[in-house]
């Protein structure tokens, strides 16, 4: 669905209508809400045409048929990520990724099978030239606003060059999407002094030191939330564990408060009174609020959403893809990686 | 200072009087408080005799001269850990560790230079036979009480056999000191399925699967606080980052609450009213409350305290050493490691 002829600055976004626990409804409704709000991008819906049309008609929405891309198959949440790309060549995830590979679209958004989406992005759309590994980041709340943490699970057993690449891409993301003017980059370690990282982060630190990035050296676990560093890089295994640990904190807090309330009536009263304000304050700890996350390092925009994505989350993912395109993130990362490209 | 003749079940504890930011006062006062409370162990104070005597006399405390072990040198907080053992052979840390090595004492407690204390424990007291690496654990608050996390920084770049040994020692610690009847052990990973760990944890998982430990498989970052696993093992680098990340959470919460309070008067009032109850609930997130931590895997009891240890923290460390001796932790770990010993 578009309002004008295609031009290179107008973003073309494919949304996987079949992705997520509430597909196709949430995906279709979220995508169209985003389109109606901005109207400055082209929207394609990929999936079973009949199912998409049902959602459109039952919600009294009009959508140009030309912008519905039929895909007969659906990759289910339980399907094995890599294998399913071959066994389901007509799935919405495969066809959506091919759309970006074939330059018919600039961005692909899906709340479907995360592993399949990562595999399709990396194998079908491909990596930006010279890059070792794509990365997924997390926006951790910090005393200073946000701390961008890479990698949080796109891969594991990263090599030093990969951790270095995360820093290059994370710097561009923080600058462009987070409006941080000269992002401070730190590598996650057991202490601030050199020699306090593990083998991988120590070697990555050496590469970072020799780069033009604003590298501040080793940072510790406590620095992520403390607000003195903008981009923190580490192996995907470590980042993933921290992200999930952080996500579990509100649940522990709730438990601790309940236990305190059980011990005293006054405390129970006070906790009851302050429940709302606590919830409000803790909202930024709920990482799910952010909706989907971009897989950086792909030669096109790829945004992966939670299976449980709401209409609002889907809408935010589409708007984010549009913003990433307008800010030319893929081009900027491609240029940066080509400059920093290290043979390994 | 003792009340009866030595026998093998009566613990002999050496306390580093010169260790910590408030030495010798806090170390001496804490140790004597512990002794006066229990009187079922022998207490030695190691350090500059004159300085120790000053603290004793200015606090009107009597202490048998025979139990003061003079040490002319002091390892400072800034001293390089390994080198200083050689350059300061008459330091309280070296002499204290030698006391345990020479079987004149069962336990050594210090709030001094952490690195020097780790080096002295490993190199002077030595490891239990057959063990690869000692470990330091953290008692993380969980919905179920406590989750024991190993290793949190005794070493880094652990090999699979080391992670396995952490599980063996952690199981004994949780059982004996935490009264957990059959501790559930998990290895930290990116997902619950096999294959979701990194190279080290996957290989450690295979060793654990073949052991008699109550191994429940891979656990994720969110499982540490969730209460379904008692002992979580990982590389020291990862554990250290999680521990410090967790320690920084209360500060972020305070910041988030302050920000909420700034936006609304009612919220400010509610937050003000509930400050005390919040503080009470969050107390278990303050890991410093626990005082010192034992270095497990040493062929004797070694307890390492924070530099800022209070009198109460010092007292708790001494009581803990005594309890570990009574429960024969070193003997039990030695037996378990000899049974599980894997040639590598």
Chain B's closest residue to A140, CA to CA, is B252
Q: Is there a contact between A281 and B199 if contact means CB atoms under 8 Å apart?
A: no
B114 & B195 share domain = no
Q: Which residue has the tokens 């462009």?
A: A176
- φ, ψ dihedrals at A262, nearest 5°: -65, -25
CA distance A46 to A54: 14
Of the residues A239, A263, A289, the one at which a domain ends: A289
pLDDT of residue A299: 98
Burial of A341 (0-12, 13-18, 19+ CB in 10 A): middle
Of A141, A224, A277, the CB nearest to B260: A277
pLDDT of residue B162: 97
pLDDT of residue A144: 84
Q: Which residue has the tokens 């071959």?
A: A86
Q: Is there a contact between B245 and A249 if contact means CB atoms under 8 Å apart?
A: no
CA distance A136 to A153: 6
Domains in chain B, number: 2
Name the pLDDT band for B4 (thresholds 50, 70, 90). very low
Is residue A17 in a domain?
yes
B304 & B273 share domain = no
Burial of A62 (0-12, 13-18, 19+ CB in 10 A): exposed
Residue A87 pLDDT > 50: yes
Is residue A85 in a domain?
yes
B262 & B159 share domain = yes
Least confident among A105-114, B171-180, B257-266: B257-266
Is residue A167 in a domain?
yes
A176 & A284 share domain = yes
Is residue A339 in a domain?
no
Number of H helices, E strands in chain B: 13, 11
Greatest mean pLDDT among A181-185, A190-194, A270-274, B252-256 lies in: A181-185
B272 & B247 share domain = yes
Of A260, A273, A281, the CB nearest to B280: A260
Of the residues A289, A311, A339, the one at which a domain ends: A289
Which chain B residues are Cβ-neighbours of A237 within 8 angstroms? 189-190, 197-198, 201, 238
Of the residues B266, B286, B306, the one at which a domain ends: B286
Is residue B340 in a domain?
no
Is residue B316 in a domain?
yes
A64 & A148 share domain = no
B156 & B94 share domain = no
What's the mean pLDDT when you consider all of chain A?
A: 91
- Give the tens place of pLDDT for each residue, B231-244: 999 999 999 999 99
Domain range holding A83?
A: 11-131+297-328
CA distance B63 to B70: 14
Q: What is the CATH number of the domain that holds B239?
A: 3.40.718.10
Count the neighbouring beta carbons within 10 Å of the beta carbon of residue B307.
14
Is residue B339 in a domain?
no
B119 & B163 share domain = no
What mean pLDDT comes out for the span A188-208?
Answer: 91
A140 & A213 share domain = yes
The predicted complex's ipTM stands at 0.87
What is the nearest CA distance from A296 to chain B, expressed in angstroms?
19
What is the nearest CA distance from B138 to chain A, expressed in angstroms?
14
A204 & A248 share domain = yes
Which chain A residues are Cβ-neighbours of B278 within 8 angstroms? 257, 274
Of A249, A270, A282, the CB nearest to B225: A249
- Give the tens place of pLDDT for each residue, B15-47: 999 999 999 999 999 999 999 999 999 999 999
Residue A1 pLDDT > 60: no
B218 & B310 share domain = no
Task: Specify the pTM.
Answer: 0.90
What is the nearest CA distance from B301 to chain A, expressed in angstroms?
25
B250 & B172 share domain = yes
Q: Is there a contact between B241 and A259 if contact means CB atoms under 8 Å apart?
A: no
What is the nearest CA distance from A118 to chain B, expressed in angstroms?
15
Is residue B42 in a domain?
yes
């Amino acid at each position: 669905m578009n309002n004008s002829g295609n031009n290179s600055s107008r973003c073309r976004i494919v949304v996987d209508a079949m992705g997520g626990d509430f597909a196709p409804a949430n995906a279709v409704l979220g995508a169209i809400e985003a389109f109606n709000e901005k109207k400055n991008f082209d929207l394609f819906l990929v999936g079973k045409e009949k199912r998409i049309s049902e959602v459109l008609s039952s919600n009294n929405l009009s959508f140009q048929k030309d912008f519905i891309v039929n895909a007969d198959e659906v990759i289910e949440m339980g399907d094995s990520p890599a294998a399913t790309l071959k066994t389901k060549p007509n799935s919405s995830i495969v066809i959506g990724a091919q759309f970006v590979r074939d330059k018919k679209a600039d961005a692909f958004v899906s709340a479907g099978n995360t592993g399949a989406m990562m595999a399709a992005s990396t194998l079908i759309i491909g990596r930006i030239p010279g890059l070792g590994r794509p990365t997924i980041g997390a926006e951790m709340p910090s005393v200073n606003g946000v701390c961008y943490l890479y990698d949080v699970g796109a891969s594991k057993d990263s090599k030093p060059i990969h951790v270095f690449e995360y820093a290059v891409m994370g710097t561009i993301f923080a600058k462009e999407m987070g409006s941080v003017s000269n992002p401070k980059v730190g590598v996650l370690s057991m202490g601030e002094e050199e020699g306090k990282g593990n083998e991988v982060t120590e070697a990555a630190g050496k590469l970072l030191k020799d780069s033009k990035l604003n590298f501040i050296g080793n940072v510790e676990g406590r620095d992520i939330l403390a607000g003195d560093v903008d981009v923190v890089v580490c192996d995907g295994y470590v980042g993933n564990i921290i992200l999930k640990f952080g996500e579990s904190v509100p649940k522990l807090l709730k438990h601790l408060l309940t236990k305190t309330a059980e011990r005293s009536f006054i405390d129970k009263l006070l906790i009851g009174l302050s429940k709302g304000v606590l919830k409000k304050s803790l909202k930024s700890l709920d990482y799910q609020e952010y909706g989907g996350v971009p897989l950086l390092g792909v030669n096109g925009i790829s945004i992966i959403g939670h299976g449980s994505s709401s209409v609002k989350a889907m809408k935010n993912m589409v708007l984010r893809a549009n913003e990433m395109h307008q800010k030319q993130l893929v081009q900027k990362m491609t240029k940066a990686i080509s400059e920093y490209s290290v043979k390994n």
